[in-house]
Each structure stands twice: as C-alpha cells, then as structure tokens.
Structure 1
C-alpha cells in the first residue's frame, strides 16, 4: 500500500504556502536588480574584453571600454607611470599604417622596461586623457625627431591602459554583485521549491527525526482542532506539540522529546527612544535539536512555560548553569548510546 502524501488542506502546510507567497517577491526583486546593474555597469567587459582591430576611434568604442589587441611590436617611449613613488607601468607606442597609438603597459615585477615588446597582446581600458596625451606626444616627438603637430595628427584620441582593467573597486563590486545574485537566486529557488512542495520545508522534514512525518502532521492537525491548550497570535500549544507560525516557516516540536525549556528577554530600541522588551523561547530536544521562538510577549511565554512545567514535570524549566551542565551531559550520553546501537 502506498503512503498518501500529507493533506494539501493541512493548516500548517497552507500557512507555509501563504508565508512563502508573501516572501518570494523579495529575492526575485533583488535578483532582477543585480542583473540590471550588472548589465549597465562596465564590469563584465573586463572578463571578456572586445577585440580591437586597427586604431581605436570614437565610432568604434567608448571611454572606459575594455579591449584587447594583438600587436606585432611596441616601442618603449622612455617614460613611466609612477604611483606613490613606485613605477607601476611604462608608456609604449605602436606605429602602423601612418597611425600612432599609445599604451600604458603594467611593469610587473621588473621596473626596467624592455625597449621593445614583440607579439604582445595588450588588454586594458580605453582612456581619453587629453592632457596626458598632449604631454606624451610632445615628449615622444622630441625624442624621435618629429614635429609635435605631425605626431598629433596621426595619434589616436584614446590610449589603452592595462592598469585599469581590474581596479580594486571593480573587483569589490563584482564580488558584491555575485554574492547578492547567488544568495537571492538560491533563496528564490528554495522558496519556489517549498511553495510547490511544502512537505520539503524544514518544519516538515524535522518531524522525520521523531517518527513518520505524515502521521505526526496528522496528529498535530487533529490536536490543534480538538484540544488546543494555549493559542497566541503565532503559536499553538496542544497536549503533545508546540507549533509556531513564524515568518521563517512553521516549527513543530513534539513535546515528549523535549528535554529543556527556557526563555530570555532582549531589549530593543531605535536611537535610544522608546525601548521595549521581547522574549525568546528555547526548546532543546533529546536529539540535541535547538528550537528558537523569537519576539514573543512575556505573558505568552509565562503561560506556555507554566503549562509545560505542570504537564511535563520531568522537563528542565528555566535557564541556569546547572541545567546547562546536566543537559549537556544527558545529550552526550544519548549520543554515545545512539552510536553504540
């Protein structure tokens, strides 16, 4: 006989679906924003630069585009680029077809520039620094015995700069976009999966640690309808279970497996104004699982803990170092017994 799936009319499973329908737009919007930003920012061309044929012109490219080009020979201009007193690059020029192009080549580990670079592939961003180009043209023209006006006529308005292909800010932005995109994509797919199959949600899967999840879910639903002891805004205590309808999907705790229950308070305030307290309930089970129920009211916590202490006198109720040591010892022994089975 085949097992029937958990009822689609289950109050808990329907709550999980409703909760996910409200939350799933958030990762979807973030993912769309990441894709839009990545599309319009000049970042990914550094990973896959455009191949440049001939001298760069304003019709072919834009300032800050990343390009790559194979050059037969580059000549050292005799001038270097310095940053913080250290040589970071060398200015080279390339002459072909009555055209002159300047390139800023990274120096690497050797500060001494070779006079020529043959069969060199340059990859960098295009820059149109008119002042720098004017200075280079004037200096190089003097060195090669050309007139400044003559060299300017055949020189491109753009220079390829290897040093700016990947700047620190670009790498940081790429990492942020990749992280945000990956997290939002995983969150969206995870929520979509739970929306289609709520029986795969954490609350349902954790029930499998305590027995047949389908039967336990049916028992929870039955007790919630027929014998709910305490019902708060987002929690329900029955003789056998504690159920929370939280924003992070529902949590279901079989009370017969609980070992320790305690709460603690947290002070909240905004800019030091109107401080207020919220309470968190902790349940530790014999399997060592830790259930945390946050942002509860004190009166709700008191009612639930009082009811648990009456119905389950074997529970450790309240936080103390002694309880912590005893519970830690019990869980350690339970783990040993489980391994020996």
Structure 2
C-alpha cells in the first residue's frame, strides 16, 4: 500500500502551522529574559535609600524596606476617581524620597509613620514625579524648579507592589507558553503520524478511521483524478488539499450537493467562484472554495451518476 502522496499532502498542510506556536514560545522566552519575573518574588533588601537608583537599574524593582520616619505630604494618589494611596516623603542626605503608601495598608492615624515596614516597588515615572514635585513643593513652600533638583526620581511605591500587574502578566505568559507548547507538540505528532490528522480523524464518522484512511491513501496514490488544482477524485473519495487543511470525503456518505455564486474582487478585477457545498449523512458540511463552475458541475455530475439518490441544488 503506497501512502506517500496523501500523507505528504497532509504533512505539507501542517508545516506552516508550526510557525505560530514556535514564534510564540520564542517570544515568551525572550520576554521572560528581558523582564525577569523572579524579582517580583525575590524582593531585595533596601538598606539605604541612596541604593534605590542602583537597584532599579539592576532590575531589582521590588524591595523590602523599613522607614524610620515618613511624613505625610498632605496629598493623595488617585486612580479611577478613588484615593488609592497617600503620598509621604522623607529626607536622607539632603535628598527627598517620595513614597506611595496604599490606603489599605495604612493605620487609622496616618499622619507621620515611624519604623514603617513595607514591601514596595521602585517606580520611575516622569509624569508622576513631576506631579508630585509640583504639589509637594507648594505644600512645603519650595520653589518648584529648585525642589526637583533635591528629589530622587525613583518613587518607592507600596501601592504599585500590591496592585501591580506583574502576577497577571506572569500567569498570562505561562498560560500562553504552555498552550503554545501543547499546540506545537500536537503538530509535530501529526507530522510524524499523519493518520492522527484532523482529516483522518473525521473519517471516524463514516466507519473505521484506519480502514478508510488506508483506503483513501491507496486510491489517492494509484488512481486519483485531478479535477482542478488541489481537488482530486478517486473511486470512493473526494479529496481536497488546500492551504492549511486536507479534507477526505467518502462519496457514499454524501447526501446533498449544491453550489452558489461568489464574486471575489482583487486589484480592481472581479472573478466569479462557485463554492461547492457537500453535506454528508452525519450532517457535516464541507465547503470547497475557489472552484470554477465547470469543475463544480463536473463533480456534481460524477457523484450523482454513481449515487443517484444524492440530492442536488436548492430552491431560493
């Protein structure tokens, strides 16, 4: 039994499907390398506020820190119209450091905090920084331009640690990577064993999947008639190979055939196609696109001659 021709066609239809999951897996790996998520769960100890810039540049964006004294700046951080955090500051070696402390974590007396322990995220956001310097300079009575020079551009944000999207991104990335690996594994398995392909698997609706697939392969290799590009007819099967899929349709299971007119415009030119619709006794519908009227009619005539009971056409 020579099965090379049909199995080669099935493999050819599955080769392009390798590209997408492979690209997604590579993209996930690259993204994970560029954005190391372990820093989210391995918070660095921030012992001195002067180390914030170095930790941020080294991608250690999540820290544990105990602040001796934090002063409430009198302004709040809002998101989606609600107060999400309160803004604090402290001075270390003549440098102002800003803190966003989540309202969920604050005690009732939130004026000045002493020996306050927190897990926080180091945030560098130019827009947020300028907004804070403008508001706090007004509260403290500093000239705005001079005040910016006294401030650290790295904001220590407990709010962004609690409400950040890193965990969501990590879960989404893992799910995407796992799904891509599964999809790629299935495609590789089908490339190695085409009898597990969708086309072969669908034959189970018409009898023995292995027997029908073997018969289709044998007839395809020995006696297939090319009706039109990618459309073949054998003694017992209509086989359509195009793009990303292959369809194997047992002729004896067809109960209804009809075609209809489709106008396809490309670069200003209109071309008529007559998609052939095939309905089988298990209520599965196959559509063969981009087929001309002559080929469509010829296929219908051949099938109707062999199986006169097949219904053809439809009433508008």
Equivalent residues of 1:263, 1:318 under 8 A apart:
yes
Aligned to 2:18: 24
- Residue 315 in structure 1 maps to residue 307 in structure 2: no
Equivalent residue for 1:245, pick from 232, 241, 246: 241
Q: CA RMSD in A?
A: 4.3
CA distance in 1, matches of 2:279, 2:117: 66
Q: Which structure ranks higher in relative contact order (CA pairs < 8 Å, sequence separation ≥ 6)?
A: 2
Aligned to 1:15: 9
Q: 1:82 to 1:221 in 2, by over 3 A?
A: closer
Equivalent residues of 2:238, 2:250 under 8 A apart:
yes
Aligned to 2:219: 223
Question: How far 1:225 sits from its partner (Å)?
Answer: 4.6
Paired positions, count: 306
CA distance in 2, matches of 1:269, 1:43: 48
Aligned to 2:253: 257
Alpha-carbon deviations, 1:221-244, whole Å to 9, x = none?
343355445532111112311111
Aligned to 1:298: 293
Equivalent residues of 1:207, 1:252 under 8 A apart:
yes
- Residue 51 in structure 1 maps to residue 48 in structure 2: no
CA distance in 1, matches of 2:24, 2:195: 26
Aligned to 2:283: 288
CA distance in 2, matches of 1:89, 1:52: 22
Structure-to-structure mapping, 1:148-159, within 5 angstroms: 156-159=152-155
Equivalent residue for 1:68, pick from 59, 63, 76: 63
TM-score w.r.t. the length of structure 2 is: 0.74
SS, match of residue 314 in structure 1: coil
CA distance in 2, matches of 1:173, 1:16: 36
- Residue 268 in structure 1 maps to residue 264 in structure 2: yes
- Residue 203 in structure 1 maps to residue 199 in structure 2: yes
Equivalent residues of 1:262, 1:318 under 8 A apart:
yes
Equivalent residues of 1:257, 1:285 under 8 A apart:
yes
Question: How far 1:37 sits from its partner (Å)?
Answer: 4.1
Structure-to-structure mapping, 1:32-111, within 5 angstroms: 32-40=26-34, 42=35, 44=37, 48=41, 50-54=43-47, 55=49, 56-62=51-57, 66-71=61-66, 74-82=70-78, 87-94=83-90, 101-107=97-103
SS, match of residue 309 in structure 2: coil
Unaligned runs of 5+ in 2: none
CA distance in 1, matches of 2:209, 2:307: 23
Question: How far 1:255 sits from its partner (Å)?
Answer: 1.3
SS, match of residue 250 in structure 1: strand
Question: How far 1:158 sits from its partner (Å)?
Answer: 1.9
Aligned to 1:123: 120
